[in-house]
Amino acid sequence: MEVILKSDVDHLGLRGEVVNVARGYARNFLLPRGLAEVATPALVKELEKRDAQRARHDAQSVDEARAIAARLEKVELRFDVNAGPTGALFGSVTATNVADRLWEQEKIRVDRRKLDMETIKRIGRYRVAFEIFTDVVVELKVAVAPEGQELPPEEELLALEEAERAEAEAAEAAARAEHKAAEAVIEAEIVAEEEAAAEEPSSETADDADDAGPGRAAVDELS
């Protein structure tokens, strides 16, 4: 089923892209949450028209591209975000966010698909490569900081990242230990049940004993 994304969705695509997804995923997740809409022919045609209009804003020559690159080299895009104590974001910063901010802040329109970046999920300073024109590439400076605060020094950022990694590893180790303990309990219960079953006389043996009683009595009488 084809849908048009209304928001960036991790591991699926960027806002405005047409993607093919399972019908159940679309109807049970994407559509109810307002993350996508059904890609009707009319909507797809409108999307193609918008893309064509945006393309006209791209640099049309090397000189234009170099002029844009010189301007972008002086720009830093700052994102104030909600973040946890170890610097992990409650959310993310995507290529769409960067492209939107460039337009809002600098009135420079870029094709977000040309931004060479992964989704940002931690506070920090980032460089995003952007190919403006053939052989004309600029690195955008992006700062992702806790809301209302300045970014810590690089050493502190690395320490925060290491703390988060250690916390995740500890949680994973605890989960493995809990799983192993649960398996041990289940195994002990199975062994106990097997031992108990082995100690109980079988019903067949008891029945045989009962059957043997009257027969032996009859033999004794004949004797």
CA 6, CA 36: separation in Å to the nearest integer?
Answer: 5
| Short-list 164, 83, 77, CA closest to 127 | 77
Mean pLDDT in residue range 101-109: 87
Task: Give the pLDDT of residue 86.
Answer: 86
Angle between helices 95-106 and 62-72 (to 10 degrees): 90
Dump pLDDT digits (tens) for 3-46.
Answer: 999 888 888 888 888 999 999 999 999 999 999 999 999 888 88
Sequence-ordered list of residues with C-beta below 8 angstroms from that of 58, at least 6 positions apart, any chain: 111, 132, 133
Per-residue tokens: 210: 């009962």
Task: Give the pLDDT of residue 30.
Answer: 94
Mean pLDDT in residue range 129-137: 86
CA 158, CA 181: separation in Å to the nearest integer?
Answer: 34
Task: Give the pLDDT of residue 55.
Answer: 55
Is 52 exposed, middle or buried (CB count within 10 Å of its CB: 0-12, 13-18, 19+)? exposed
Task: Give the pLDDT of residue 208.
Answer: 54
Task: Give the pLDDT of residue 132.
Answer: 84
Per-residue exposure over 143-164, b if at least 16 CB sit within 10 Å of its own CB, e if not: ebbbeeeebbeeeebeebbeeb
Mean pLDDT is highest, among 79-83, 158-162, 166-170, for 79-83
Tell whether the torsion through CA atoms of 7, 10, 14 and 19 is positive or negative. Answer: negative
Dump pLDDT digits (tens) for 181-202.
Answer: 888 888 888 888 877 888 776 5
Between residues 215 and 26, the one the model is more confident about: 26
Q: How confident is the model at residue 78 (pLDDT cuts 50, 70, 90)?
A: very high
| Short-list 136, 128, 114, 134, CA closest to 66 | 136
pLDDT score of 106 more than 90: no
pTM (2 d.p.): 0.58
Between residues 180 and 92, the one the model is more confident about: 92
